[in-house]
Structure 1
Amino acid sequence: MVIRSNSVALTLLILVCAIWGVGFVVTEHALGKLSTQALNALRFAIAALSLVPLWLSLRHREPIPDCPRLVRGSLSLGFLLFIAFYAQTEGLRFTSVSNAGFITGMLVPLVPLLSWLAFRHKITKAGWIAVCLSTAGLYGLTGGANTALNKGDILVLIGAIAFASHIVLTGHYAQKLPIISLSILQMLAVSIYSLLASWLFDHDPSKTLFSLNPEHWLQLLSPDIIGAFLWMGLLSTAFGFWVQTSCQKTLEAHKVALVFALEPIFAHVAGAIWLDERLGLMGWFGAAAIIAGMLVAELGDRKSATLHPVDLAAAPDPMAEPLESNQPRQ
């Protein structure tokens, strides 16, 4: 199915931003039943499987892969994604959904900064302004000088840095590798890394996938937990991927980027509705500064707008031209 209407494309993109924003609340709910590692192992297994039909329908359009490079790239990118999702998901145990959404949004201005540090790619004036705005936003969102960063905020910030690093490295690998195959394999890598980490480090087996307690598995098979994993695996990843790639055929990149800046706002709204979270005056200042930083980073140079990388895991339009390594995919 091809989306040809601009209004339909914009509506679907806003819907996907809402799905991603509510996904923070969904993840926090599922954390009550599983450890962070076990949750991510199951989530990414579902996400990988959900992209197999897409791979089957488009595999004839992908280039023949360099298998050793594909494996290396998948393992490397999967490891960064494993660190990113562990830090973000574990951080949700200690900080609010609103803070997690806005701090994760900092990955947008972090991408050009890390690209400059890693590959000496030029960072524009808009990029430096975005970094300053986001830093000021983090200061305000976490309470300013009177309040230190809590454990959750630090973990989510580490996650944002890992997500940004993942985008930069994806630009390095995605130029010569089949994108959908790379996406599926790195998702499988995340699932395997998480399962291994759960086996090694989770001391409470009742919150893992290794539990032999029938009551634990009955809880995981409850409608709300099944719904949470379908939301994270199918809606956030598979549906989000399809909408984003389809809409990029219709809308200019900067318009797509502008819509995706709504995601942390949806995360805050979801936190306010379901978890009764509220931002104070400093928090609103911080949130506004981070969103301003995202928009400056995305719209400062419309030829290389940055799109959302978190749940799509390096899966841009398979028919599009390869991205330059200093232009994050999506």
Structure 2
Amino acid sequence: MVIRSNSVALALLILVCAIWGIGFVVTEHALGKLSTQALNALRFAIAALSLIPLWLSLRHKEPVDDWLGLARGSLSLGFLLFIAFYSQTEGLRFTSVSNAGFITGMLVPLVPLISWLGFRHKITRAGWIAVCLSTVGLYGLTGGADTALNKGDLLVLLGAIAFASHIVLTGHYAQKLPIVSLSILQMLAVSLYSLLASWLFDQDPSKTLFSLDPQHWLTLLSPDIIGAFLWMGLLSTAFGFWVQTSCQKTLEAHKVALVFAFEPIFAHVAGAIWLDERLGLLGWFGAAAIIAGMLIAELGDRKSAKLHPVDLVAAPDPLPYSPADAQADAQATKNQSTKT
């Protein structure tokens, strides 16, 4: 299915941002039944399986020519994603959903900074402004000088850094590897890393996937927990991946960036509704500064390729923007101008 209507594309992107934002609350709920490692092992196994239909439909367009490179890329990206999701998910045990949503949003301005540190890519003036704004925003969101960063905020910040690193490295591998295959294999890698970590480090077996307690498995099969994993695996990942891919071929990059800024806002609204979380005046100032940093980072240079974290949950646009796409878009614009 190809999305051709701008209004439909915008509506679907806003819906996906709401799904991602509410996903913070869903994840926190599921954390009551499983350890962080066990939860991520299960959610990424579901996510990988849910993308197989997309792989089947595109396998002829994305042949694998370098299996060794695909394996290396999948294991490397999967490890970064494993660190990112462990940090973010574990952080939710100690901080609010609102803080987690806004701090995760910092990964957008962190991408050019990490790209500069890792590959010496030039940072534009807009990029530096975005980094400074987000730093000020983090200061306000976590209470300013009177309150030190708590363990949860630090973990979520580490997750944001890992997410940004994942996006930068994905941009490196995406140029030469089939993206849907890379997405599925790296998610399987996250699941295996998480399962191994759970086996090695989780001290309470009753919260893992290795538990032999029938009551534990009956709890995991309860409708609310099944719904939580379907939300994380199918909606946040598979559906979000498809919508982002399709809509970014329809909408201009700056419009997509504006919609992405709604994600942490949805996270805060979800936290306020279901968890009765509230931001004070300083917190709202910090949140606004982080969103401003996100927008400046995305809009500062419209000519550059944009990647979003849920690139993170999966990978960047699996169908690279080719010269043929550019020619088709130019013809569509010309036709639209003729009609008007």
TM-score (norm 1): 0.96
Q: What's the CA shift for 1:258?
A: 1.1
Matching of residue 24 in structure 1 with residue 24 in structure 2: yes
Letter in 2 for 1:178: P
Q: Is the 8 A contact 1:260 1:307 kept in 2?
A: no
Query: Match for residue 46 of structure 1?
Result: 46
Q: What's the CA shift for 1:249?
A: 1.8
Q: Is the 8 A contact 1:299 1:305 kept in 2?
A: no
Letter in 2 for 1:290: I
CA gap 1:321/1:80 in 2 versus in 1, 3 angstroms: farther
For 1:305 and 1:64, the matched residues in 2 are separated by 24
Q: Give the number of equivalent residue pairs.
A: 322
Letter in 2 for 1:55: W
Query: Match for residue 2 of structure 1?
Result: 2
Letter in 1 for 2:243: V
Alignment of 1:134-213 (within 5 A): 134-213=134-213
Matching of residue 75 in structure 1 with residue 75 in structure 2: yes
Q: Is the 8 A contact 1:63 1:177 kept in 2?
A: no
Deviates more, 1:304-313 or 1:253-262: 304-313
Matching of residue 252 in structure 1 with residue 252 in structure 2: yes
SS at match of 1:304: coil
For 1:305 and 1:42, the matched residues in 2 are separated by 32
Larger Rg: 2
Deviates more, 1:95-104 or 1:254-263: 254-263
SS at match of 1:61: coil
Query: Match for residue 262 of structure 1?
Result: 262
Q: What's the CA shift for 1:75?
A: 0.3
Query: Match for residue 328 of structure 1?
Result: none
Matching of residue 65 in structure 1 with residue 65 in structure 2: yes
Q: Deviations over 1:36-92 (max 9, x none)?
A: 000000000000000011000101011433111110100000000000000000000
Query: Match for residue 125 of structure 1?
Result: 125
For 1:19 and 1:177, the matched residues in 2 are separated by 28
Letter in 2 for 1:31: L
> Any stretches of 5+ residues in structure 2 without a counterpart?
324-340
Letter in 1 for 2:88: Q
For 1:261 and 1:20, the matched residues in 2 are separated by 12
Alignment of 1:217-256 (within 5 A): 217-256=217-256
* Root-mean-square deviation over aligned CA pairs: 1.1
Query: Match for residue 105 of structure 1?
Result: 105
Deviates more, 1:237-246 or 1:59-68: 59-68
Q: What's the CA shift for 1:308?
A: 2.3
For 1:315 and 1:296, the matched residues in 2 are separated by 20
CA gap 1:24/1:78 in 2 versus in 1, 3 angstroms: same
Q: Is the 8 A contact 2:261 2:291 kept in 1?
A: yes
Q: What's the CA shift for 1:304?
A: 2.1
Report % sequence identity: 89
Deviates more, 1:302-311 or 1:243-252: 302-311
Query: Match for residue 314 of structure 1?
Result: 315
For 1:182 and 1:9, the matched residues in 2 are separated by 25
Q: Deviations over 1:195-254 (max 9, x none)?
A: 000000000000000000000000000000000000000000000011111111211111
> Any stretches of 5+ residues in structure 1 without a counterpart?
323-330
Q: Is the 8 A contact 1:134 1:290 kept in 2?
A: yes
For 2:164 and 2:65, the matched residues in 1 are separated by 25
Q: Deviations over 1:147-202 (max 9, x none)?
A: 00000000000000000000111111110000000000000000000000000000
For 2:240 and 2:200, the matched residues in 1 are separated by 32
SS at match of 1:302: coil
Q: What's the CA shift for 1:318?
A: 2.0
For 1:244 and 1:54, the matched residues in 2 are separated by 14
For 1:19 and 1:61, the matched residues in 2 are separated by 29
Q: What's the CA shift for 1:305?
A: 5.4
Q: Is the 8 A contact 1:62 1:318 kept in 2?
A: no
Alignment of 1:80-99 (within 5 A): 80-99=80-99
Letter in 1 for 2:181: S
For 1:312 and 1:192, the matched residues in 2 are separated by 16
SS at match of 2:4: coil
Q: Is the 8 A contact 2:180 2:318 kept in 1?
A: no
Q: Is the 8 A contact 1:254 1:305 kept in 2?
A: no
CA gap 1:168/1:82 in 2 versus in 1, 3 angstroms: same
Query: Match for residue 35 of structure 2?
Result: 35
